Copies of this chain bind each other. A is one copy, B any other.
Amino acid sequence: MPRRAPDAATTPPARATIGDVAREAGVHPSTVSRALNPATRSMLSEAVALRVADAAQRLGYRASALAAGLRTRRSRTIAILVPDLVNPIFPPIVRAAEIRLAEAGYATLVANTDNDPAREEWLVSRMAEHLVDGLLLASVAQGSSALALAARFAIPAVLVNRRLPGSTAPAVTNDDRAGIALAVRHLLDLGHTRIGHLAGPAGVSTATDRRAGFRSALRAAGIDPATAPILAAGAYSAPAGLAATTALLDAHPTLTAIVCANDMLCLGAYDAIAARGLAVGRDISVTGFNDMPFVDRICPPLTTVRIQHAEMGRSAAEMLLEEITRPGGTRRDLRLGPTLVVRGSCAGGPGRALGAAAPRPPIPHPRGA
């Protein structure tokens, strides 16, 4: 008697199993397995392999990844954890990683941690339960247990964009100190002397590295970093940038330039500056970091530090693939070089005439409801 639900008429046709295919092809299930696995197909006679492929096709057979994974302990799946999907720097990174991983036969799953360590932990656990073959972590911050969990479950992991100081995990990040130095140098060259830094949230490597870079760039220029105000935003977001910039300008009204730790913060800085009736670029210069999509179109276009989004995703994927094939083989810490993109958000400092090359002072647009 064929196994069948009582209400077979309404029940969707049960998914074909390897046994069904075997029966259809008149062979043993293990033969089906061999025929459908490219690595083992060569063991079989041409005729049988073809017959099995045919039967599988007819039944629309798809191997159960669960059953297979249970045996092989592999899922041909990679998860990538991002802290905030709304921040447009991540999609390009994800996309590049995805392309490289797909070439290697891996499906890429993106999960959003929302900058919440608890959620991150939950997600890594879920991924571990599902036996993902590797983890690309763009979300780690100090105190994050993602890396420890990955190690615990023996899941290869590679850090992207953010490092974790003290960790030995492979990582692909930006040279954040060099990047910020580019921005500071640019401002100094324009004649600014009262420069503040809008730092990123505590515990995130991009925040601490860029903050350190800010201070050392100033020092390298013969300026005492102690005289340059630094204020950390609560998050890499526009609202946090708005609040922090307001506080920064309240405390230091003579500032003529602000170096922001990332582009999202700049958006808030723009708002804060506009709220004071000042114009970005004319009254106060602002620099960003990341050159995320769309900042070339905001008003005024943002002068920012461009990072190699695609290269970052691609090489992180590459590193993860290596790590999967030879665990612990290459514990590399790759730092990608940033460049400065000069647009319209910086002008000459006080007491210095605007040169011909300086951008036209922007007229702010009314922002509708």
Min CB gap A92→B, angstroms: 7
Contact B111 A62 (CB under 8 A): no
Contact B344 A366 (CB under 8 A): yes
Q: Which B residues touch A130, using CB under 8 A? A: 65-66, 75, 77, 130
Contact A107 B126 (CB under 8 A): yes
Does A117 touch B at the CB level, under 8 Å? no
Shortest Cβ distance from A73 into B: residue:
B66
A30-67 contact mask (Cβ, 8 Å, vs B): 1 or 0: 00000000000000000000000000000010111111
Does A157 touch B at the CB level, under 8 Å? no
Within 8 A of B (CB), among A107-141: 107-112, 114, 119, 122-123, 125-126, 128-131
Q: Bound complex: CA of A60 vs CA of B149, how far in Å?
A: 10
Does A359 touch B at the CB level, under 8 Å? yes
Shortest Cβ distance from A106 into B: residue:
B126
Q: Which residue of B122, B270, B298 is within 8 Å of A298 (Cβ)?
A: B298
Query: Chain B interface: which of A176-184, A193-201, A289-297?
Result: A289-297
Min CB gap A294→B, angstroms: 4
Min CB gap A157→B, angstroms: 13
Query: Chain B interface: which of A163-171, A205-213, A253-261, A299-307?
Result: A299-307
9 extra A-B contacts, CB within 8 A, seeds A65-B131, A110-B111, A301-B366: A12-B152, A64-B131, A70-B70, A77-B126, A109-B110, A303-B368, A342-B369, A343-B365, A363-B363
